[in-house]
Chain A
């Protein structure tokens, strides 16, 4: 979160109750640097807004437990995405998860310099993207989310998904097709 974004919202003034030192140093560093990344990865992997906090909690707990396994030569973000993917998968398997329209229940920090209309349009576009993602098969969705939204390279995705590059390109192509069809369907439904 940039400081400009943070200043844009008055509610931001609420003080953080947890000093960074309350967490183990390694976890605090990861948490501070990659909280936003994990949060968005979980949203895009189908975690409902109301459960995001609980699922993110599980992700960082897994990070805390597994960082002894972390290979220092590898980038952190794909490793975090892999953990998020597994935790989100467990979450989706749980019986309490129903398919619902995803919407932002959490108060968000709005980007500075954007007018209200622009913000509403952007929010609507994001809602459509998340809904359309729901129609993409999970094995394709993972590749799509990593490549299109988190802008990971294919070799990085391969390190998480454990599949050959050709397979991943094929999955990306199919994911785009499924996503585009779902997106168009949702737009038409909204326009009607």
Chain B
């Protein structure tokens, strides 16, 4: 059955006119492109394309593997613009791996029961000599492999006054409110912009984790979540992070830790909208 048979000639002509609707002039397209560039500039660099060898130890990603990944992506894409769409991020991703981005994801040995590296801490930071920019959100975090492994470090903390912190709060002292306010150098617009960028950075890390979770790459997912916890212990997306963390733990088979974390999250956020998802993740058969 085609539209011609059911819609009549007038309707068909109108639909044809809409199909060939004119496009906005190039100035509109350019203006939107400019806005996008500014927005994305606030989010730092784009996330890496999916690459299977995400947990490869530092320095082992070879150039042959890089060209393989690119050529496979190109072959799947069917050439043309889609090939360009995929090939460039793949090159960036493999370059990141080559310079040691994979080293940042050393949660892998922790999850496999291996020893922590560098005395229990490990960083996402690429080798300074590499001189390659990573997304700002991924540049500075320090992920405690032990924390990533058992999740204990991200438990809700109660301070002496009995206030409950974020379930993945850090051991850093809470900033205290100053009674005598001193003049600040930033304007309210500046601080609002900073806050927006913080949220954008949080969102970017959470999205990386979610993407990894969806492709069943639990090690990377948990590493990103640990990264978020260390950078934004009291972040606005803490609930979402913990829910994803529980899902990742449950999916990786560590249901006990997941259940433990769920109990603490339930305690901290009894009315969280993310609780049902987290609970379902633990209840689901493997």
Contacts and interface: CB of A to CB of B under 8 A. Distances in A.
Contacts of B21: 40, 43, 126
A68 B23 contact: no
Nearest to B39: A61
A2 to B, nearest CB: 9
A152 interface: no
Interface string B38-73: 011001011111100000000000000000000001
B24 A68 contact: no
B23 A31 contact: no
A129 B37 contact: no
Contacts of A128: 14
Contact of B85 (A5, A22, A76): A76
Classify the secondary structure of A's interface with B. helix
Interface stretch (B28-36, B144-152, B179-187, B271-279): B28-36
Contacts of B82: 72, 76
Contacts of A61: 36, 39-40
Interface residues of B, number: 57
Nearest to B29: A35
A155 to B, nearest CB: 17
Nearest to A44: B18
Nearest to A27: B46
Interface in A1-46: 1, 5-6, 9, 11-12, 14-18, 20, 22-27, 29-33, 35-36, 39-40, 43-44
B22 A65 contact: no
Interface stretch (A85-93, A105-113, A135-143, A159-167): A105-113
A41 B34 CA distance: 21
Contact of B46 (A17, A24, A176): A24
Nearest to B77: A72
B208 to A, nearest CB: 7
A176 B12 CA distance: 11
A53 B27 CA distance: 12
A16 B29 contact: yes
B24 A23 contact: no
A54 to B, nearest CB: 9
A187 interface: yes
A72 B86 CA distance: 8
25 contacts: A17-B30, A17-B31, A17-B34, A18-B34, A24-B89, A26-B49, A30-B85, A32-B81, A33-B81, A36-B23, A40-B21, A53-B32, A57-B35, A57-B36, A60-B32, A65-B47, A67-B46, A68-B47, A69-B214, A72-B86, A107-B27, A108-B23, A128-B14, A129-B14, A129-B15
Given A30-B81, A125-B17, 8 more contacts: A9-B25, A43-B21, A53-B28, A64-B46, A76-B82, A106-B25, A107-B28, A108-B22
Interface of A: 1, 5-6, 9, 11-12, 14-18, 20, 22-27, 29-33, 35-36, 39-40, 43-44, 53, 56-57, 60-61, 64-70, 72-73, 76, 106-111, 121-122, 125-126, 128-130, 148-149, 151, 173, 176, 179-180, 183, 187
Interface of B: 1, 3, 6-8, 10-11, 13-15, 17-37, 39-40, 43, 45-50, 73, 76-77, 81-82, 84-86, 88-89, 203-204, 207-208, 211, 214-215
